[in-house]
Structure 1
């Protein structure tokens, strides 16, 4: 009986060794090639939730006909807000008006894949009447307290930086800057109103007393420029 048990155990062990030796190891590969985003147009995203792939339309009820710039990549300004301040009565003292846009923003996409960085600058013209005969002398548009948001919840890129207080004038002012290695992908620099407010105290138009004429609409042009490096 002992001999039979020993023989049986040896046979089982041999079978195990044979099965182990029959197994083989191998590997496979996955590969992908990526190029820059030349020719691509990035649509405007929801400034309250840029990760939402299906934003509501219009993006901004105070700027309903703004469908974005249509600029193509690999480095582009995709969207800039038009600022609406509504209609008001002339005051005898200096006047301060707040934008109706609750989430004005500028959207930049960088798909160069180089991490070279970028800078957004802006300048503004005078506020003038449609006939060009009246100028809103001394008017000042100011944006404050920016929030920078990515279109990706999982981005590995560092964020650009928005200018804390931006007082527009005829000279170029830096709106947002992305240092080398940062700002890759799509980024929104927003100037949001306080929650629940219908006027935006972070987008302000200041007008000196004595400047406006009655029954006149004044318009200024903001020129936005995207540089392909930090400045």
Structure 2
């Protein structure tokens, strides 16, 4: 019986060696190389970038304001800026701060209406990574010869957004007193600001047509003369330059 057991162990050991024997290496019989290439051409800026939802940059939108500003052209361009509407307000003899309406847009994905904060959108397709700067100024609110003396327009709670992952950019609150002095809105340093960016004032999601944006306000002194039924208008000038500070 002992001899039978030893023989069986020897057979199993031999079988294991056969099962785990290393496979033979495949012989290389030859090799060659191929190439992949691409040629970049400059974005001539003649095809504007569609505005995107500043609260969800994956969605393209169509603003409904019939007087929406004309976009600029070029590889570095200002695609869109919201007009700011404060609606009809009751005359007050006290200092009063008014809140702006939200910007009405239509989502291209499903045709639904959405109300988003006042925003500006910049596209940088230059490929130079040189950075850029966005500034704004305004003249005073006027209705004919009547002026809202001392009125101050404030844009605050700025929120940068993009489909790009990184956003090492500087944005800030803007206070405009009608003296036409330029105020910085966004400063994109070298190696930032590439692609499409929105800068929204406020981040409320789910606003409706009657909602007011506390991040965009107009403060009017009580002592300022106000003509009833007159539409006071200020012009905001947005300037995009091709280098940061």
CA shift at 1:67, angstroms? 5.1
Aligned to 1:174: 184
Aligned to 2:81: 80
| Compared CA separation, residues 175 and 22, structure 1 to 2 (3 A) | closer
CA shift at 1:193, angstroms? 5.1
Aligned to 1:225: 239
Q: Would you say the 8 A contact 1:79–1:107 is kept in 2?
A: yes
| Compared CA separation, residues 138 and 67, structure 1 to 2 (3 A) | closer
Aligned to 2:99: 98
| CA displacement 1:104-157 (0-9 Å, x = unmatched) | 11111111111111101111001000xx2100111110011110011x2xx365
More strand by share: 2
TM-score of the superposition, structure 2-length normalised? 0.76
| Compared CA separation, residues 167 and 186, structure 1 to 2 (3 A) | same
Aligned to 2:223: 210
Distance in 2 of aligned mates of 1:72 and 1:114:
17
Aligned to 1:5: none
Gaps (5+ residues) in structure 1? 1-15
Alignment of 1:162 with 2:175, yes or no, is no
Distance in 1 of aligned mates of 2:230 and 2:38:
59
Larger radius of gyration: 2
Distance in 1 of aligned mates of 2:76 and 2:181:
23
Distance in 1 of aligned mates of 2:69 and 2:197:
14
- The aligned length equals 204
What secondary structure does 2:27 align onto?
helix
Residues 42-191 of structure 1 aligned to structure 2 (within 5 Å): 42-52=49-59, 54-55=60-61, 57=62, 59=63, 64-66=65-67, 69-101=70-102, 102-129=116-143, 132-150=144-162, 152=163, 155=164, 158-163=167-172, 165-169=173-177, 170-191=180-201
CA shift at 1:205, angstroms? 0.4
Q: Which moved more, 1:70-79 or 1:28-37?
A: 28-37
| CA displacement 1:190-228 (0-9 Å, x = unmatched) | 112534451100000000003122221100000111111
Gaps (5+ residues) in structure 2? 1-23, 103-115
